[in-house]
Structure 1
Amino acid sequence: MFFKNNAGLFYTLISVVCASFMVIIVKLLSETVNIYSILFYRGFFGFLLVSIFLFKIKKEQLYTKRIHIHFVRSVINALALFFWFIAISTSTLAEVSAIGNTAPIFATFLAIIFLKEKVYLNRIIAILLGFIGVLIIVQPGFYSIEEGYYYALIAAILWGMLVVFLKDLSKTENFFAVIFYFQLSLCLFFGLIFFNQIGFLTQKEFLWILLMAFFGNLSQLFYFQALKYKDVSFVTPFEYLRFVLIAFFAILFFNEIPYLATYLGSLIIFSGMILLSLDKKIIAKSYNFIFKN
């Protein structure tokens, strides 16, 4: 009964832990393997792991009338991963992780512009907080901005775009089809375009990439499972725990000590995420209580 009542929370936490492990593995691999190879093998082994379940599911679950939507989603996601992996490999983990947490805030900003969603006060404040948080972390004008920060920001914008562009995909497509087509497209995208950049792996690198693909798939699986029990507004704030885990592992394995500005900026970004997660009814009641009483 306890697990059933808290299943959404457990699935969210497992997803966050798996995503954190994947980031650490990418950082380790980037010391000897180029990004194109990491992404190609991430898609290839991820596709193989997903394909194992083809024997246990109905083939009709892969049928879709929206293959073009899957294709666009996969390309955007592949580009986001490309910039994200470069950011991980070139800059300190805590900083790029904090900047990556702005994705939900960018999604909100883009939804207001392109989907004409209503502008609520909490959304405006969240967008401003996200912008301020990034400025505090990056500190433009005070220090030279690391190249990886730009890549992390591009990845966050692309992920925000992905949420907006494919907001209704989950209404018609099942989870297995979404993951299947993404892994296949990721493998083909980098395999065909950057085939001359892809190298062979040592036995140790092979095991690391296999583990990375496993954690990547597991993270997506439990994220989708979490959304079955809880809505996005519940799940999103817990993704901030990924920053805490990554910062801890960065200190432990890479001796990367985050700056004080990183903690401050990430807390401001997290505050924006909390604002986004607040229920509209709660906001309306708070507004009425403050301004109409």
Structure 2
Amino acid sequence: MQTLADEKRRRLSGAVLMCAGVACLSTNDALAKTLTAHYAPFQIMFLRNLIALPVAVVIALVLGGPSALLSRRPMAHLLRGFLWVAATFLFFTSLKHLGLAEATALIFVAPLFITAISALFLREEVGWRRWLAVIVGFIGVLIVIRPGGAAFQAVSLLPVATALVYAFLMLGSRLVDPRESIWTLLLYLTGTGALLSGVLVPFVWLPVRAEDVWLFVSIALFGTAGMTMISQAFRLAPATLVAPLDYTALIWATAFGWLIWAEVPDSATYLGAAIIIASGVVVILRESRAG
């Protein structure tokens, strides 16, 4: 029987793992932005997934056992892999042109897309409070990208498109056999990502410079570590506790942007990000109560 102290330890461990995982993925994004100055997004994602694949196999074996290497619905993983490659391509492309904090803030609209898609296409019941949160969240997006204004950049729509594709990716997990572990999903996402990006990489391939090898290795390790820790965080603690901690990514993105590229987001970006984050938290809390 689980004691109150055990439950508190699990919740604390989940929160710590979530924060650490978000820090790793934010580092992954900063490394990706650095690499986009010299390499195409498809080459970055191909090498990242190729290097990460053996690590993902080991993680799946250790944490999920030999059964984690097999899937009952491989086509579902292939579809999710396609969405994963599309989302990564859009986001990496946006990083080449936008500040890291701005791109990260716009990505936060993904939970709002998930709610809207669930209601409009999956016929799930969504109350007026969640719909209001979704609408307010998209107002936050408009504040960040400022369509029609002098500061508007069409490339600002790429992180929003990324969030939309990512929402379909998350909902696509419902197509996977529910008996499959999270480690199977991680393994097949990495494997299909390497396979699909590998089809296109010959058209954009550039020789890897010696001084960039450590960047590709680092992006693979940080990305895989981040996904693993976040997955484990959701296994240990309630989503209502760990999911809002995903927004700590904005702190890391702002810090990396300032330290590496001297990027300082303007007040409109911070205001829009705050509205998006608040709306996302409301959606998460309301969905947990509805569930």
Taking structure 2 as the reference length, the TM-score comes to 0.91
One-letter amino acid of the structure 2 residue matched with residue 153 of structure 1: V
Listed as ranges, the gaps of 5+ residues in structure 1 are 284-293
Contact 1:88–1:148 at 8 Å: present in 2 too?
no
Q: Which residue of 2 aligns with 1:119?
A: 126
Does residue 72 (structure 1) correspond to residue 79 (structure 2)? The answer is yes
Contact 1:107–1:164 at 8 Å: present in 2 too?
yes
1:168 shift after superposition: 6.1
Note the 1:93-108 alignment, pairs <5 A.
93-108=100-115
Cα distance change, pair 105–170 in 1 and its aligned pair in 2 (3 A): farther
Note the 1:5-16 alignment, pairs <5 A.
5-16=11-22
One-letter amino acid of the structure 1 residue matched with residue 21 of structure 2: S
Structure 1 residue corresponding to 2:40, chosen from 29, 34, 43 = 34
One-letter amino acid of the structure 2 residue matched with residue 127 of structure 1: V
Listed as ranges, the gaps of 5+ residues in structure 2 are none
Which stretch shifts more, 46-55 or 90-99?
Answer: 46-55
Q: Which residue of 2 aligns with 1:51?
A: 57
Distance 2:287 2:186 in 1: 31
Cα distance change, pair 236–122 in 1 and its aligned pair in 2 (3 A): farther
Structure 1 residue corresponding to 2:140, chosen from 124, 133, 138 = 133
Q: Which residue of 1 aligns with 2:29?
A: 23
Distance 2:75 2:237 in 1: 28
Residue identity over aligned pairs, in percent, reads 23
Q: Which residue of 2 aligns with 1:212?
A: 219
Q: Which residue of 2 aligns with 1:222?
A: 229
Q: Which residue of 2 aligns with 1:272?
A: 279
Residue deviations 1:193-252, cap 9 Å, x none?
A: 231212221222111111001011011101110111223333221111101210121011
Residue deviations 1:72-126, cap 9 Å, x none?
A: 1111011001101111111111111110010111111101112211121221111
Q: How many residues align?
A: 283
One-letter amino acid of the structure 1 residue matched with residue 122 of structure 2: L
Cα distance change, pair 232–170 in 1 and its aligned pair in 2 (3 A): farther
Q: Which residue of 1 aligns with 2:201?
A: 194
Contact 2:72–2:177 at 8 Å: present in 1 too?
no
Does residue 237 (structure 1) correspond to residue 281 (structure 2)? The answer is no
1:281 shift after superposition: 8.4
Distance 1:167 1:60 in 2: 19
Taking structure 1 as the reference length, the TM-score comes to 0.90
One-letter amino acid of the structure 1 residue matched with residue 224 of structure 2: N
Cα distance change, pair 198–48 in 1 and its aligned pair in 2 (3 A): farther
Q: Which residue of 2 aligns with 1:287?
A: none
